[in-house]
Amino acid sequence: MSIFTGSGVAIVTPFNDDESINYDKLDELLDFHCNHRTDSIIICGTTGESSTLSEEEHMDCIRFTIERVKGRVPVIAGTGSNSTYTTVQMSREAVEDGADGLLLVTPYYNKCTQAGLVAHYTQVAKEAKAPIILYSVASRTGVNIAPETAAELYKTVDNIVGIKEASGNISQIAKVMNLTDGKIDLYSGNDDQIVPILSLGGKGVISVLANIAPDYTHDICENFFKGNVAESCRMQLAALPLIEKLFCEVNPIPVKKALNLMGLEVGPLRMPLTEMTEANTAKLAEQMKKFGISVL
């Protein structure tokens, strides 16, 4: 059984003006998503600025989310690191705290081989007894999970159950599904490819768009699963201009700006991320209004 199907939000981490984590606001956001049909919360991923959280902040944020969600939807903890030891420690702690699953990005900067990926993920899976979703995003990490590697891990490690594919390479994604007989739980890591990935047997999306349009993102998936493929496709295409603006600067710069434009007050970014330019902010606000999202 999949950890979730549908729309999982790659939720932002809200900060106070001093850049400490704003837990009151995070609590509000969690309720917002549970009340607007988000199917899973993915905490401390790329969109959550995990790379600039201390390990203590990282684990506190995961623990807080699990406690506040209270089983309303599955909580998936992003606990990947460029260190296998650190990934094991954080993953074990997240599982002990009650995470329903783990999202593990490929080790970054040290750029291991495919054999290194197999060794890394196998070790983490052995130590952290929870369902694991591999996360392939070579544009950020410098390391691609080859289809053969994904298939080997899925077939040989019981609790490696899924993959978040953000390569953008539909041919690669199709090969992953071919090599796993369509059985691996596939999630789109790109909001502009939700429907194409669902058509390959995907279970849903781990979404940036869902931060600002949770019902809409849920409905793209639900329509597809109910057989309303034409409507799902229409919704996917209609969202493309907004999705483009959500990625016109590096994620999560635009989505945090969007949430602040909506009055949700998620606060600043942590350096080295900087605030969105005025020109791009104006273009983002324009697309949000066209999409029917109120902007202050």
For residue 126, indicate whether it is catalytic: no
For residue 121, indicate whether it is catalytic: no
Catalytic residue among 25, 154, 164, 216: 164
Catalytic residue among 135, 154, 187, 216: 135
Residue 252 and residue 275: Cα distance in Å, rounded?
A: 10
**Torsion of the alpha carbons at 244, 250, 254 and 257, rounded to the nearest 10:** -170
Residue 29 and residue 23: Cα distance in Å, rounded?
A: 10
Q: Would you please indicate which residues are annotated as catalytic (active-site) residues?
A: 135, 164
